[in-house]
């Protein structure tokens, strides 16, 4: 059996949740576990987040799985519902919904006879990202409609999402738009994603919505997760399955993308893009072998990749490999590959076996 494996560390999840509370001590925490808990496995990861005040998911099936597993916290559908039967199921199981378009408002207004219970609504404003939500000039009227709707609980939450919380542009303009539009409205507020939690304390308010930071990766390009005290939750590992010795001028792998300048010992590792490792990772992407940092060589294949072990004479067949984790931050692999840690964590393939520790 191939030795490739992804390990989910629940103790690291608990630690990262504590970091969220350290940054936002007065806020409730809605742990975002969409995309199968960012690739970690929804029901594998959720025990490490059981002390969160709520969970944010994308699909109704995810919310139902959490509810059926005994989680009584707030469960929020981050894109809301798209059909009347979903609305009824959400109401029956006490699941909260985001409302971000006119059709969803109308669905609530027309659903009263069928609903077993009214729903908690998080009403979303489009404060500049132009993805989901009501424009500020329409927002007040929608608040009034929801307040008057028997299908909606009185504890409405007002929310928005920031496009540039992670860079130098910050959130001043969209935050000002949101504050001006909602001034005087007697409702709770949820604005802060991971980057906002870490960089913009003025926008924490009543509910924060951490995502990537819970899994030990950084939402801020160029700033390591360890800088914020975060710990990696996933360790992606494999082993060396063969060793090749290249002479000067010999090439390696598809496309001959690496050419040896001197004699080079090469580890062939049981992991490829079919396992979720980025095919576009270039020569020099960090990797750890037997606990020592090295670098990848050549093009990533479907089932294999290569690393330089010239400087590691003890490394050979059976040597342990960390693709990312405690020694090699997932953000370092992502940065080398021109992407973000979010994508790599979410892309670990179903054929990779998972183990839970902690």
- Residues that are catalytic: 34, 254
> At 252, phi and psi to the nearest 5?
-135, 130
Distance, in Å, from the CA atom of 165 to the CA atom of 34, rounded to the nearest integer, reads: 20
Lookup: tokens for 255 = 């496309």
Lookup: tokens for 83 = 């059909």
Distance, in Å, from the CA atom of 149 to the CA atom of 151, rounded to the nearest integer, reads: 5
3-state class (DSSP) for residue 268: strand
DSSP type of residue 87:
H
Distance, in Å, from the CA atom of 265 to the CA atom of 311, rounded to the nearest integer, reads: 8
């Amino acid at each position: 059996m191939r030795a490739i494996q992804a390990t989910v560390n629940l103790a690291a999840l608990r630690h990262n949740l504590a970091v969220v509370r350290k940054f936002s001590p007065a806020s409730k925490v809605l742990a975002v576990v969409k995309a199968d808990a960012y690739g970690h496995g929804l029901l594998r990861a959720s025990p490490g987040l059981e002390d969160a005040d709520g969970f944010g998911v994308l699909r109704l099936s995810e919310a139902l799985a959490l509810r059926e597993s005994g989680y009584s916290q707030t469960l929020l559908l981050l894109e809301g519902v798209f059909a009347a039967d979903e609305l009824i199921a959400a109401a029956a199981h006490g699941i909260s919904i985001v409302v971000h378009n006119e059709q969803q408002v109308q669905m609530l207004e027309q659903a009263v006879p069928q609903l077993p219970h009214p729903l908690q609504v998080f009403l979303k404003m489009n404060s500049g990202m132009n993805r989901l939500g009501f424009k500020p000039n329409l927002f007040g009227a929608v608040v009034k409609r929801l307040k008057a709707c028997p299908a909606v609980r009185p504890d409405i939450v007002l929310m928005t999402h920031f496009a540039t919380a992670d860079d130098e542009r910050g959130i001043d303009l969209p935050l000002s738009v949101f504050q001006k539009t909602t001034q005087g409205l007697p409702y709770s507020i949820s604005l802060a994603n991971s980057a906002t939690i870490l960089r913009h304390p003025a926008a924490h308010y009543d509910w924060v919505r951490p995502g990537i930071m819970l899994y030990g990766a950084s939402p801020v390009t160029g700033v390591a997760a360890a800088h914020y005290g975060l710990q990696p939750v996933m360790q992606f590992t494999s082993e060396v399955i063969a060793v090749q010795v290249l002479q000067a001028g010999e090439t390696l792998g598809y496309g001959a993308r690496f050419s040896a300048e001197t004699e080079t010992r090469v580890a062939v590792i049981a992991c490829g893009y079919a396992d979720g490792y980025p095919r576009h990772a270039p020569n020099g992407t960090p990797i750890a072998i037997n606990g020592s940092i090295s670098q990848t060589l050549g093009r990533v294949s479907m089932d294999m990749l290569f690393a330089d072990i010239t400087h590691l004479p003890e490394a050979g067949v059976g040597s342990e490999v960390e693709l990312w984790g405690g020694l090699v931050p997932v953000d370092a692999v992502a940065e080398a590959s021109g992407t973000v840690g979010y994508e790599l964590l979410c892309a670990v393939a179903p054929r990779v076996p998972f183990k839970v520790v902690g």
